[in-house]
Amino acid sequence: MVAERGVVLIVEDSPELAELMAAIVEREGFTGIAAGSAAEARAAYLRFRPVAVLLDWVLPDAPGTEVCRELRAQDPELTIIFVSGRNDETSMSRGLDAGADDYVAKPVREGELVARLDAQLRKTSRLRLAFSAPPVEAPQRKMRFGEVEIDTLARGVSVSGRHVKLGPLEYRLFEYLARNAGVAVSRDQILSEVYGIDADIGTERIDLLVRRLRLKLGDYPDTGGHIIAHPGYGYLLERRG
């Protein structure tokens, strides 16, 4: 019988760690389903249709990034969180590029894992409500900053007419900056908007996201989409039509 809050799929090849994470999510009102390989994860996803996936980086039959891309293609709104022993910036970037919503480093800390999971599920719930409810006042769909354009309905970003693939967190960050163009927003505001919680997440995670976003958008003043740092405070997206 599935718990009231739904199924969390735990893709982890260590039975002991999978059991630990299952116990954590079950204390929070979920049903924890473990899969020890990519093949088991694919089958479990189709069978249980989980609300979230906790995904290991290294699996015996495929990279976790490959599984992440497959699941993201099947469900753009599925909450996917990497739980990995790799805690370096390159691995975090690759995980986000593969479509993950967040990245938690091992060893697993119950409080952090629960906070991150709840935050991403709240964010997904708000997005689904926003898409299903008729808007009282239609928001601006397309915004342009020089050669950079964001389409908030299609949730897409292009530069000089070329689609740019952004991960979920990168897109949320850019949309938030775009809706507040010309206004400096603090790292704490960005953290709350992108992650949806007052979490134990260092603001350096925001700096990493901004660096990745700049690289993908070609962040130069003459092309638009210019993100300006305010040292000790946050960031501002320059308002350019």
List, for residues 46-105, the tens digit of each pLDDT value: 999 999 999 999 999 999 999 999 999 898 889 999 999 988 888 888 888 888 989 999
Please indicate, yes or no, whether residues 23 and 105 belong to a single structural domain of this protein: yes
Please indicate, yes or no, whether residues 105 and 78 belong to a single structural domain of this protein: yes
Please indicate, yes or no, whether residues 89 and 170 belong to a single structural domain of this protein: no
Given a cut of 80, is residue 134 above it in pLDDT?
A: no
Any domain includes 115: yes
Side-chain half-sphere CA neighbours of 58 within 13 A: 6
Instruction: Please tell me the pTM assigned to this model.
Output: 0.67
As to burial, measured by CB atoms within 10 angstroms (0-12 exposed, 13-18 middle, 19+ buried), residue 123 is buried
Any domain includes 123: yes
Kind plus residue range of the DSSP H or E element containing 38: helix 38-48
Q: Are 221 and 238 in contact (CB under 8 A)?
A: yes
Residues in the chain: 241
Structure tokens at 174: 């850019």
Cα separation, 98 vs 83, whole angstroms: 14
Cα separation, 7 vs 222, whole angstroms: 48
Please indicate, yes or no, whether residues 33 and 124 belong to a single structural domain of this protein: yes
Please indicate, yes or no, whether residues 111 and 183 belong to a single structural domain of this protein: no
What SS3 class is residue 144?
A: strand
Structure tokens at 241: 């039509």
Please indicate, yes or no, whether residues 204 and 159 belong to a single structural domain of this protein: yes
For a pLDDT cut of 90, what percent of the chain falls above it? 44
List, for residues 181-223, the tens digit of each pLDDT value: 888 998 888 888 887 655 556 777 888 889 889 888 886 555 5
Please indicate, yes or no, whether residues 11 and 127 belong to a single structural domain of this protein: yes
Residue 190's domain spans which residues? 142-237
| CATH code, 106 | 3.40.50.2300
Residue with the larger pLDDT of the pair 44 and 89: 44
